[in-house]
Amino acid sequence: MCGIIGCFSREGCYEKLMEGLARLEYRGYDSAGVALLSEGGIAVRKRRGGVNALAGPPLAGQTGIGHTRWATHGRPSDANAHPHAAGKFALVHNGIVENHAALRRELEGQGAVFASETDSEVVVQLIARLYRGDFFAAVSAACARLQGSFALAVLCADRPGEIVCARRKSPLVAAAGGGALFVCSDVPALAGLAEYVCPAADGEFVRIAGGRVFFCDGEGKEIAKVFSRLPEGSRAETGGGTFMEREIAAVPRALADTLAGLRGLDFAPCARALRAAKRVFAVACGTAYHAALAFKDAAEREADVTVLCHTSSAFRDRAPRIGQGDLVVAVSQSGETADTLEAARLAKSGGAYLLSVTNAPHSSLAALADFGIAMRAGAEVAVAATKSYNCQLLCLYALAAQLAFFRHARFPAWYRSLGALVPAAREAFSAFPAVQALAARLAGAKGMYFIGRGQDAVTAAEGALKVREIAYRFAESCPAGELKHGTLALVEEGFPVLALATERALAQKCENALAEVKARGGYAVLFSQYEEVLSASCADAAIRLPAVPEPLMPAVAVIPLQELACSLCLLSGYDPDRPRNLAKSVTVE
Ligand code: AGP
């Protein structure tokens, strides 16, 4: 949610700033802006719309900041776009200032005149009020008065070559390379721009000054840090089509890379936690939550351990009594999702062992965790998660297998077949012409249901989420066994119900549910790897899935559903990479 970037380059920073900003767009795309500091002072260009809306002659200056917005306080407009300016300062902000109303009243009482409806403008007005000639001191003093979350970058007209940044909860990294220094919301946006990167910890400040980038505390005392090489795989997928199409096409490669990483991963450091955990929790949001549900299913079956699976927000709301001896598995593609981070902090503060599964090795979640499993999906730009979901499943299957091993000295039978997911994912693409034809058939539908039993209930939930998110259709999932307990009432002539049947033992029951749909005039679609299930089915359309050991099928079965949502979206003329109202990383509550 919102991306911020700052850059210092002696050759002028405009081009680099714009390039980074374009890469940050997936964090928010309802408005964008830059501010550059030159001898003439601070020049601001900001507009409603995407980064393209900023087109115009390059702005001069070696030092600059930029922002892509996902509106929280104040609708998308030119005035509400960042950077916000006051006195000698310009500021970009990601996060939410919770005490903005009280601060605004206080500042207005002192004569401040606000130009926007945002919580962020309060911060720059506060800095301008507190400034007594010491740029850093003014920013630090302002931060001390803020409640909520922020990553911010500030320019001061008196201090050419300087940017002061602060972090509380919202992500911030410092980076260097290509003759330039950077601060940024995340690492993927810096791919191709910077070579070395170092994340800021919570409460730290980052400064660019005197031709170097460094960290310090609120008093300005420097904190020693080690920069590491920008991780490989930080680059976005290239090729034709939308990012979502490319990212679906990259699933086999992403699985192969993730598998290679898993093969080199030593689970010994977390063996004790896996072996002795009294309770196992899994926390995540959205698609990652579906992966966590699949983990629950796999771990409970294979390791004979109860997994308590919560959405991160529900985990926070109820704050279950976490203690030593509990294992909390936090799953997040970005590693920056605010709710998941807070759930992870809760777990840590309670004394639990925190294990993370992320696609971002420099993320806040990875830094917080006692042990991390890295997906190697590569940068995922489209807001809808695709390849990262397949890789999350792979990592979590590996974790379930390790749990089984450490608790019962045996790996599940399918453990040796994880590699089969790679060719199977490739083979899943051969169903795409049929899936695209199905999308054309469903294009006129206002809504649809996805059903499944056992592990297929989770795949159904993920398929429905994808359709809601990018094709803007009402789409829900329902365990197939629950259909006749209420949801069947929605089925009328032509209403689409899409069923997954990848567990042979449950396939007949799922088939029965579809028959009930057909009997009410519904349009029934079946997905299965079993020829006999498909041929015996009464479905109007059948999509054959590639076969892997049954417990691994969710990682394959979801691929045609990802494609279905993408096709529906494109057929409807929507942009799958930037669905309305959403952003990739939900870094605010
Ligand atoms: C998935 O398509 C969504 N964009 C969303 O549900 C996402 O999975 C969720 O916000 C969690 O993100 P994370 O994995 O980065 O924590």
Per-residue pLDDT tens digits for 192-223: 899 999 999 999 999 999 999 999 999 999 99
**463-498 pLDDT, tens per residue?**
999 999 999 999 999 999 999 899 999 999 999 999
Residue-level pLDDT at 238:
84
- Arithmetic mean of pLDDT, 75-94: 95
Q: Which residue has the tokens 């991963």?
A: 265
Name the strand (E) or helix (H) holding 182: strand 180-184
pLDDT for residue 457 is more than 80: yes
What is the CB-side half-sphere exposure of residue 282 using CA atoms within 13 A?
Answer: 27
- Arithmetic mean of pLDDT, 543-552: 97
- Give the list of residues 6+ apart from residue 256 with CB closer than 8 angstroms, or none: 422
- Give the list of residues 6+ apart from residue 582 with CB closer than 8 angstroms, or none: 383, 469
Residue-level pLDDT at 582:
86
- Arithmetic mean of pLDDT, 166-181: 95
Residue-level pLDDT at 470:
97
Interatomic CA distance for residues 437 and 492, integer angstroms:
22
- Give the list of residues 6+ apart from residue 263 with CB closer than 8 angstroms, or none: none
Q: How far is the CA of 341 from the centre of ligand 1 (A)?
A: 13
Q: Where are the alpha helices (DSSP H) in 134-270?
A: 135-144, 243-249, 251-263
pLDDT for residue 589 is more than 80: no
**16-63 pLDDT, tens per residue?**
999 999 988 877 788 999 999 998 899 999 999 888 889 899 999 999
What percent of the chain is modeled with pLDDT above 70?
A: 99
Report which protein residue has its CA nearest ligand 1's atom 7.
286
CATH class belonging to 3-229: alpha beta
Given pLDDT bands bounded at 50, 70 and 90, which one contains residue 237? confident
Average pLDDT, the chain: 94
3-state SS, residue 65: strand
pTM summary value: 0.88
Instruction: State the CB neighbour count (10 A cutoff) for residue 581.
Output: 9
Report which protein residue has its CA nearest ligand 1's atom 4.
384
- In terms of CATH, what superfamily is 236-412? Glucose-6-phosphate isomerase like protein; domain 1 (3.40.50.10490)
Instruction: Give the residue extent of every domain in the chain.
Output: 3-229, 236-412, 429-576
**362-403 pLDDT, tens per residue?**
889 999 999 999 999 999 999 999 999 999 999 999 999 999
User: For 412, phi and psi rounded to 5 degrees?
Assistant: -60, 155
Q: How far is the CA of 288 from the centre of ligand 1 (A)?
A: 6
Residue-level pLDDT at 556:
98
Residue-level pLDDT at 513:
92
Pocket test for ligand 1, best of 358, 458, 586, 588 (most atoms within 8 A of CB): 586
What percent of the chain is modeled with pLDDT above 90?
A: 85
DSSP symbols for 325-394: TEEEEEEESSS--HHHHHHHHHHHHTT-EEEEEES-TTSHHHHH-SEEEE-------SSS--HHHHHHHH
Interatomic CA distance for residues 63 and 187, integer angstroms:
20
Torsion angle, alpha carbons of 383, 319, 351, 271, to 10: -60
Q: Is 236-412 in the same CATH topology as 3-229?
A: no
CATH of domain 429-576: 3.40.50.10490
Interatomic CA distance for residues 561 and 445, integer angstroms:
16
Q: How far is the CA of 94 from the centre of ligand 1 (A)?
A: 18
Distance of CA 122 to the CA centre of its chain: 28
Amino acid at 538: C
Nearest atom within ligand 1 for CA of residue 386: 2
Which residues belong to the active site? 2, 584
Interatomic CA distance for residues 557 and 107, integer angstroms:
56
Residue-level pLDDT at 199:
93
CB-based pocket (< 6 A), ligand 1: 285-288, 332-334, 337, 340, 383-385, 469, 585-586
Q: How far is the CA of 585 from the centre of ligand 1 (A)?
A: 7
Residue-level pLDDT at 211:
95
Pocket test for ligand 1, best of 185, 290, 333, 373 (most atoms within 8 A of CB): 333
Residue-level pLDDT at 233:
66
Interatomic CA distance for residues 503 and 456, integer angstroms:
8
Nearest atom within ligand 1 for CA of residue 383: 4
Residue-level pLDDT at 28:
79
Q: How far is the CA of 71 from the centre of ligand 1 (A)?
A: 18
Report which protein residue has its CA nearest ligand 1's atom 16.
332
Residue-level pLDDT at 235:
76
Distance of CA 418 to the CA centre of its chain: 25
- Given its phi and psi angles, is residue 304 left (phi above 0), alpha (psi -120 to 50 degrees) or beta? left
Interatomic CA distance for residues 304 and 578, integer angstroms:
41
Measured CA distances, 46 to 18, 34, 56, 348 (Å)? 12, 6, 11, 40
